[in-house]
Each structure stands twice: as structure tokens, then as C-alpha cells.
Amino acid sequence: MSWSKDDRESPRGYHHGNLKEALLRAALELIAQKGPAGFTFAEAARWAGVSPAAPYRHFRDRDELLASVALRGFNQFAAALAQAWDDGRPEFFTAFDRLGKAYLEFARAEPAYYSAMFEAAIPLAGNSELREAGDRAFAVLRAAAEKLCAQTPAKARPPALMVALHIWAISHGIASLFGRGDAARRTLPMSPEDLLEAEVLIYLRGLGVSAAT
Amino acid sequence: MSWSKDDRESPRGYHHGNLKEALLRAALELIAQKGPAGFTFAEAARWAGVSPAAPYRHFRDRDELLASVALRGFNQFAAALAQAWDDGRPEFFTAFDRLGKAYLEFARAEPAYYSAMFEAAIPLAGNSELREAGDRAFAVLRAAAEKLCAQTPAKARPPALMVALHIWAISHGIASLFGRGDAARRTLPMSPEDLLEAEVLIYLRGLGVSAAT
DNA sequence: AATCAATGTAAAAGCTATTTACATGAGCTG
DNA sequence: CAGCTCATGTAAATAGCTTTTACATTGATT
């Protein structure tokens, strides 16, 4: 984070030049430090070196800034998942494993984004952009679930949508409960990654899909 | 909720008589309405009909009230889970199914408790009471996992602790993502209960445990 | 060069959190 | 029952946040 303490006071004239971006960065940093609840519009402004009223030229209110952070988070999340999944190449299991690890990696590396996305209780209604970004991220899980279902015994093939939701719930459950170092609310007998991998393997076996050893 | 709008203004003298309790109730109600972030110490005081400074006689600060709500939540949660599990009576599968439903039922019926418990980012350090209450709730899942593992083929019997964590992650994932009506961030092809039941059945099959039909 | 629109600022109103000094009265003590 | 004390409330003050409004500045456009 090269911008973590310096550019906030880079000399500037009356106009900031890139305030919107600066506010998004400041918000992200502040959320990382104090959680979505502790983050303050005024402090983000201070961070950017502008008056407390300036942010209102770029965001309707504090909540819209938070929603913008979440939006950016979903976009990065979708990109990270898509890159990890890589359309299932070179073959399903490796890609699927990468996908799970990427999920946890994102939650751990970007706890601020993750909590803005999933714990800030941002109302989806009236924010189609945000919903669509969330959908794009979910679409990756959905695509993986499709390929997973294809590996399943044709007799009792489950709906891919359901499987995608299951995978999501498992990943989110682990990321949310055990995935962020600071939140370490409980000491675990194994890493979140191992916990997730084991859980997914059991789930896959339940679906009748046997993992490559 | 018989106390939802009346007893807050029941005539009283200089002393409230039961302010601590009234504040806990007010906080719960306010969190239910506006989320843990929107809840305000001052408004809880107003709700109880006392001055904004009065609550400080009972809670160090706003966070301690929030933590007390979470504590009460964990206690009720533990009780609800324990009652549902009922030590696995009359037989494992019925009890296990009840347990899962009770988990979701709690998250839906008491979203305020649930979010105070899991989404308010209350630091566990220095609050052993809270941690212990959480542990008591988890102990129920743990006990169920023990009995579950007993049903498992002895050859590859997984550690009960791991299984308990898996069950918890699955349940929390579904409750947190899909379990609260208001949060309805996504339309589902099935109810959270059915989604959870299907997921658990698949997981159990993966463990080599076959459900009674 | 004159003007406009975008982007900042200053100041104010109305919240909230929290502290401090003071008030009240319930219950114990003698 | 009188008196005292301590728990529990209140009032008032400080400090910070959010948001609005009226005004200032300046980069761009014509």
C-alpha cells in the first residue's frame, strides 16, 4: 500500500483532483482498521485533506460511499474468483480447489471489502449495479457448480443452482467465522483452508463425485 | 412482545427500577429495526424514559451494552439448540434435523441477537463470559458431531471437532446469506430450511452416513 | 476574455457519546 | 423513627459526526 500515509497530504490547490478515488481508498483503509461501523465520513475527508462537506460532491451520503466500496469489492471478488476458476482449466479438480482457496484468500487479504460486501447490511433494493456485481461473482460459483454437476452420476443429478448455493454457503461460513485473522474468535485445530478443503471433499463425495487423488 | 410500546412510559419516580433490563430490551428492539450499526445509546435511553447519561450507570459504554445483548443472545441460542438436539433423542436423525431447523429458526426469529452475536465484531478478548456463552452454544453442535461420527464407518472416522466446525460453517453460511427475510439479497429456488437440509444430507452421505428415509 | 459547471469551503443545525458535578431516595443502622 | 450512605438518575458541558445551505474557486468552454 504505497498510499497508506503519504499521498493524503500531497500538496494540492483548491481542487483535489481525484477526490472520489481518494475517498474510496480512505474508506477502505478505515474499514480495514475499525470495521464498517467505525468508519466515518468525516475521517475519510480528513484523510483526503478536504473539508467534511466535500465528500458530498461525490457521494449522496455515507451509505453511498459504503455501497461504492462494496461494489468495488464485488468487482474485484468476481475477478479473483474468475481468474482462479479459469473456466475449469486445466481440469476440474485443480480449478475447483483453486476457486475455494481464492475465496478464502480474498476474505483474508481484503477483510474491508469482504465485510462491506457481506456484513454492512447494504440494502440491495435500488442499487442494481451492486446487485449485478454480486451476481457476476456468484456466476463464477454457478459455472463451477455446473461443471461439478456434470461429473455427478446422471441418475440423481442435483440442480446446479442448488449446488452453487451450497458451495457459497460453505465458503462464506468458513470465511466469515474463521477466515479473518483479526476476528480470530476461536482457535482452530486446522487452517481455514484445510477446513474448507476437507468440507468440500466430503460434500463432493456425498454428491457421488470422487476427487482425483 | 407485550412491552413493545407501552411499558417504556409506565409512570415511575426518580428511579427507574429496572433500567438495565429495559435497556437490554430497547437495544434488542432497536437493533432489530436498524441493525447493530444504527442502534444508539441515546435512543435506548429515550426508549426507557431516562436521560442520556443514565445508561452509563449500567454499562461502561455503548459497546458493552452491545456485548451484553450478544451474551444474552448466545445464552438463548445455546438453550434453543440444546432443546432441539435433546441429546439426540429419540434417535439421531430426527434430532439432528431438528437441530438444523432450530439454528435457522433462531437466526430468523431473532435477527437482532444473531447479528449482535456474529456481525457486530465484538472483541472476544477480555470478555470471557461472552466467549464461554459462545462455547456453550458450540458445545451442542460439538455433541451432535460426536454422535454423528459414531455413525460413521470406523475405517475413516473424521475428528468430531472438524465435523462440528463444518456443520457450523454450513449453518452459519446459510443463515447469514439467506436466512433473514429482510436481508433477502437474492431470490432462492427453495427455502433456506430445504437448502440446509439438502446440503447436510449430501454432507452426511459424504461421511458415509446414510440417513433414515 | 467571459462564463459556466464542477468541486471545495465555511458555518450552522441537530444528532450522538461520554464525562463531571450534583440530586434523589431506598434501605440499612442504630 | 432519624440519619446516613450508596446506587441510580439528572443536567450541563465537551467533542465529534452528518448533512444542508450559501458562498468561493477554478478548469474548461466558447
pLDDT tens digits along B151-171: 999 988 999 999 999 999 999
Q: pLDDT tens digits, residue range B16-30?
A: 789 999 999 999 999
Q: B111 at the A interface (CB within 8 A)?
A: no
pLDDT tens by residue, A72-121: 999 999 999 999 999 999 999 999 999 999 999 999 999 999 999 999 98
Calculate mean pLDDT across residues B29-54: 95
Cross-chain Cβ contact B124/A170 below 8 Å: no
CATH of domain B13-57: 1.10.10
Inter-chain contact B121–A37, Cβ cutoff 8 Å?
yes
Question: pLDDT tens digits for A39-71?
Answer: 999 999 999 999 999 999 999 999 999 999 999
- pLDDT classification of A17: cutoffs 50, 70, 90: confident
Q: Please tell me what DSSP assigns to residue B151.
A: T
Long-range contacts formed by B81-87: CB under 8 A, 24+ apart = B81/B106, B81/B137, B81/B140, B81/B141, B82/B140, B85/B140, B85/B143, B85/B144, B87/B143
> Which tops the pLDDT comparison, B210 or A154?
A154
Residue B8 pLDDT > 90: no
Identify the band that residue B125 occupies on the pLDDT scale cut at 50, 70 and 90. Answer: confident
Chain A hits for B120, CB-CB cut-off 8 Å, are: 37
Amino acid A184: pLDDT: 58
Structure confidence at residue B126 (pLDDT): 84
Per-residue pLDDT at B183: 54
| Residues of chain A positioned with their CB less than 8 A from the CB of B115 | 121
Residues A205 and A199: their CA atoms lie apart, in Å, by 10
Q: Domain A70-207: which CATH class?
A: mainly alpha
Rounded-to-integer distance, Cα B63 and Cα B69, Å: 10
Predicted pLDDT of residue B11:
58
Is A185 near chain B, with CB under 8 Å? Answer: yes
What's the confidence (pLDDT) of residue B187? Answer: 82
Question: How far is the alpha carbon of A103 from chain B, nearest alpha carbon, in Å?
Answer: 14
Contacts of B131 in chain A (CB under 8 A): 185
A108 touches chain B (CB under 8 A): no
Query: Which pLDDT belongs to residue A2?
Result: 36
pLDDT value at residue B180:
83
Euclidean distance between CA atoms B148 and A25, whole angstroms: 47
Q: How is chain A split into domains, by residue range?
A: 7-57, 70-207
Distance in angstroms (rounded) separating the CA atoms of residues A95 and A101? 10
Task: Show Cβ contacts of residue A148 under 8 Å, excluding neighbours closer than 6 positions.
Answer: A92, A96, A160, A163, A204, A207, A209
Secondary structure (3-state) at B177: helix
pLDDT of residue A12: 74
Say what the pLDDT of residue B144 is.
Answer: 98
Q: Which three cell numbers stand for residue B78?
A: 445455546
Mean pLDDT along residues B163-181: 95
Q: What is the pTM of this model?
A: 0.93
CB B57 within 8 A of CB B19: yes
Q: What number is the average pLDDT over the span B53-79?
A: 97
Task: Tally the residues of chain A.
Answer: 213
B45/D10 CA-to-C1' distance in Å:
13
CB A22 within 8 A of CB A8: yes
Worst-scoring range by mean pLDDT, A3-7, B57-61, B151-155?
A: A3-7
Assigned CATH for B75-207: 1.10.357.10
| Å between A70 CA and nearest CA of chain B | 14
| CATH architecture assignment, domain A7-57 | Orthogonal Bundle (1.10)
For chains A and B, count residue pairs whose Cβ atoms are closer than 8 Å.
118
Q: Which cell is A91 given?
A: 481440469
Mean pLDDT of chain B: 91
Using pLDDT thresholds of 50, 70 and 90, give the confidence band for residue B184.
Answer: low
What integer pLDDT is reported at residue A126 of this predicted model?
Answer: 85
A49 touches chain B (CB under 8 A): no
User: Model confidence at B86, in pLDDT bands (50, 70, 90)?
Assistant: very high
Phi-psi category of residue A11: left, alpha or beta, with phi > 0 → left and psi -120 to 50 → alpha: beta
pLDDT at position B75: 98
The set of cell numbers assigned to A196 is 474448507
At A146-180, the pLDDT tens digits run 999 999 999 989 999 999 999 999 999 999 999 98
Structure confidence at residue B13 as a pLDDT band (50, 70, 90): confident
Choose between B198 and B17: higher pLDDT.
B198
- Among B159, B169, B201, beta carbon nearest to A173: B169
Q: What's A212's DSSP letter?
A: P
pLDDT at B35 over 50: yes
